[in-house]
């Protein structure tokens, strides 16, 4: 495996995808050999073979005894940072390199990876090979890393047999929770931007499935040990996913400011919104708090006066004037981005209220508690129709609270009133909007993102020593999120 990586590594030093005589030769080997190699590589990852024990020379002397002791100390220290199975880790890296060549053309390695089946399916197929998908699934769950996230993406996006098997799992939390853990830990680190991006795409692909969106609210966790902001107990996987996605949006707005990142987060939340069920209080608060923060920012921005004159070719601009117009354009773009996020959050809340109001009392509670945030926006043309729906819900439950007795009201009393009165909520009061559905679509030339990214993973995670490299193009956006 290491030898093949070295042979293919000319790509790391400036060759574009699919170029090079040696690479072309490797890509043109007979189909049965390609199938056999891919099968063996996937088996290595699936079985996670342990490395053989180190066999040093027999300690027949004092010097050799000292050497053995020092080696034991060094190897025990290194064991904490090395992967549990170097063979499995190397297999994944080689698999990624081979399958990301000529992605839009003829690649037998990629075809083998995207067409293999479950050996226990009981159906006769002409698949390149079959293996135990149960074992592969558990290996993905237990050994999630940046490179295995990319492998998972490939299988979900391109192999219908593996995707169907994973989506049918009743223990999907074994995979989703590690994905959320990685996203939680990486979302504020610019150096992990590509890993965050792939994690979000995988979660977006999951959110396209209605059965997934339903089941994650039926799976509960007693405690989320790795969540750092506060203690989360007795929370559904669905609520945890909402919390981590909203937190990622907040981190992106504050630090990274990548439009594609928050677009994918919002798309996943939108796909989930009509299936929200018994949202945890922290999840509901996260959604409403994000809206509150952005609504205040939007109000300040729309009140700010900006230059309205536009330049013409007949009137040359001074350097100072050009700077003013650039600042005005940047400001307008920022206003548009904030407005876009606000609209999406309102659509997500509306979708939940339209389909699942009675099963989400915590969301209604948070809307009541933050009611003053929505009133100033009911006259804003892009937001008014969506805001009016929310204000209808707020007014209905506010009236029910007033009928229940004089204020002040305790939190348990408000929640109890919401639960009791939800049964009488008149659904016709809400204007019905089209159902939110977004799908991940890979760009026409994905090699421009994936080939440099794969070699970055090889450089970072392979045990081989590589000189500093310069790939032919830097990783950039590889996808778009399309409503349908």
- Residue 301, pLDDT score: 84
441 in helix, strand or coil?
Answer: strand
Check: CB of residue 166 under 8 Å from CB of residue 214: no
Alpha-carbon radius of gyration of the chain: 27
Q: Is the pLDDT of residue 479 over 70?
A: no
CA distance 290 to 260: 18
Check: CB of residue 88 under 8 Å from CB of residue 51: no
Going by DSSP bridges, is the β-strand pair 438-442/233-236 parallel, antiparallel, or unpaired?
unpaired
CA distance 12 to 333: 36
Check: CB of residue 104 under 8 Å from CB of residue 158: no
Check: CB of residue 200 under 8 Å from CB of residue 268: yes
From 271, 268, 276, select the one nearest 200 (Cα to Cα).
268
Residue of higher predicted confidence among 145 and 10 = 145
Q: Is the pLDDT of residue 57 over 50?
A: no
The H helix count followed by the E strand count for the chain is: 21, 6
Phi, psi dihedrals of residue 314, rounded to the nearest 5° = -80, -15
pLDDT (tens digit, 9 = 90+) per residue, 213-269?
A: 999 999 999 999 999 888 999 999 999 999 999 999 998 887 657 778 889 999 999
Q: Is the pLDDT of residue 41 over 90?
A: yes
CA distance 396 to 379: 20
CA distance 449 to 152: 17
Going by DSSP bridges, is the β-strand pair 130-131/220-223 parallel, antiparallel, or unpaired?
unpaired
CA distance 26 to 97: 12
CA distance 191 to 348: 30
Check: CB of residue 37 under 8 Å from CB of residue 3: no
Q: Is the pLDDT of residue 79 over 70?
A: no
Mean per-residue pLDDT, 313-331: 52
Instruction: Please identify which residue in the block is written with the tokens 């050497």.
Output: 67
Check: CB of residue 120 under 8 Å from CB of residue 170: no
CA distance 89 to 144: 11
CA distance 129 to 115: 8
Backbone dihedral region of 16: left (phi > 0), alpha (psi from -120 to 50 degrees) or beta? beta
| Interacting residues of 30 by C-beta distance below 8 A, sequence separation 6+ | none
Mean per-residue pLDDT, 288-296: 94
Sorting pLDDT into bands at 50, 70 and 90, what band is 56? Answer: very low
Check: CB of residue 351 under 8 Å from CB of residue 397: no
Mean per-residue pLDDT, 275-288: 96
Sorting pLDDT into bands at 50, 70 and 90, what band is 190? Answer: low
Ranges of H-type helices in 258-409 = 259-273, 281-303, 319-356, 361-369, 371-374, 384-404
């Amino acid at each position: 495996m290491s030898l093949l990586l070295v042979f293919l590594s000319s790509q790391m030093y400036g060759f574009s995808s699919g170029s090079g005589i040696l690479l072309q030769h490797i890509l043109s080997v007979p189909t049965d050999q390609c199938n056999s190699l891919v099968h063996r590589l996937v088996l290595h990852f699936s079985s996670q073979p342990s490395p053989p024990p180190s066999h040093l020379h027999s300690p027949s002397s004092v010097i050799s005894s000292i050497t053995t002791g020092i080696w034991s100390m060094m190897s025990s220290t290194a064991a904490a940072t090395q992967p549990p199975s170097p063979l499995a880790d190397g297999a994944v890296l080689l698999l990624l390199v081979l399958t990301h060549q000529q992605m839009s053309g003829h690649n037998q390695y990629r075809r083998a990876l995207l067409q293999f089946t479950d050996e226990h399916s009981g159906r006769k197929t002409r698949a390149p090979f079959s293996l135990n998908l149960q074992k592969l699934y558990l290996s993905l769950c237990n050994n999630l890393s940046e490179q295995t996230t990319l492998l998972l993406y490939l299988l979900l996006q391109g192999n219908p047999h593996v995707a169907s098997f994973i989506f049918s799992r009743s223990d999907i939390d074994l995979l989703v929770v590690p994905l959320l853990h990685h996203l939680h830990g990486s979302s504020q680190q610019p150096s992990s931007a590509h890993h965050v991006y792939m994690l979000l795409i995988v979660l977006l692909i999951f959110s396209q499935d209605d059965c997934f969106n339903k089941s994650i609210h039926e799976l509960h966790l007693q405690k989320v040990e790795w969540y750092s902001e506060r203690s989360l107990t007795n929370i559904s996987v669905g609520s945890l996913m909402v919390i981590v996605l909203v937190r990622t949006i907040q981190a992106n707005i504050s630090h990274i400011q990548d439009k594609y990142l928050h677009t994918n987060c919002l798309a996943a939340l939108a796909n989930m919104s009509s299936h929200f069920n018994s949202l945890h209080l922290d999840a509901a608060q996260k959604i409403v708090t994000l809206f509150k923060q952005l609504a205040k920012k939007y109000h300040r921005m729309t009140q700010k006066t900006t230059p309205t004159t536009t330049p013409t070719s007949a009137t040359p601009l001074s350097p100072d004037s050009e700077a003013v117009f650039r600042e005005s354009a940047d400001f307008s773009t920022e206003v548009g981005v904030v407005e876009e996020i606000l609209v999406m959050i309102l659509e997500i809340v509306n979708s939940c209220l339209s389909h699942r109001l009675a099963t989400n009392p915590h969301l209604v509670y948070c809307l009541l508690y933050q009611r003053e945030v929505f009133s100033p926006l009911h006259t804003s043309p892009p937001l008014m129709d969506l805001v009016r729906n929310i204000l209808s819900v707020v007014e209905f439950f506010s009236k029910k609270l007033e009928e229940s007795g004089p204020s002040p009201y305790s939190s348990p009393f408000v929640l109890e009133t919401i639960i009791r009165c939800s049964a009488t909520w008149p659904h016709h009061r809400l204007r019905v909007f089209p159902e939110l559905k977004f799908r991940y679509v890979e760009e026409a030339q994905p090699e421009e993102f994936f080939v440099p990214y794969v070699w970055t993973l090889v450089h970072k995670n392979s045990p081989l020593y590589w000189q500093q490299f310069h790939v032919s193009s830097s990783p950039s956006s590889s996808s778009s999120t399309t409503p349908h």
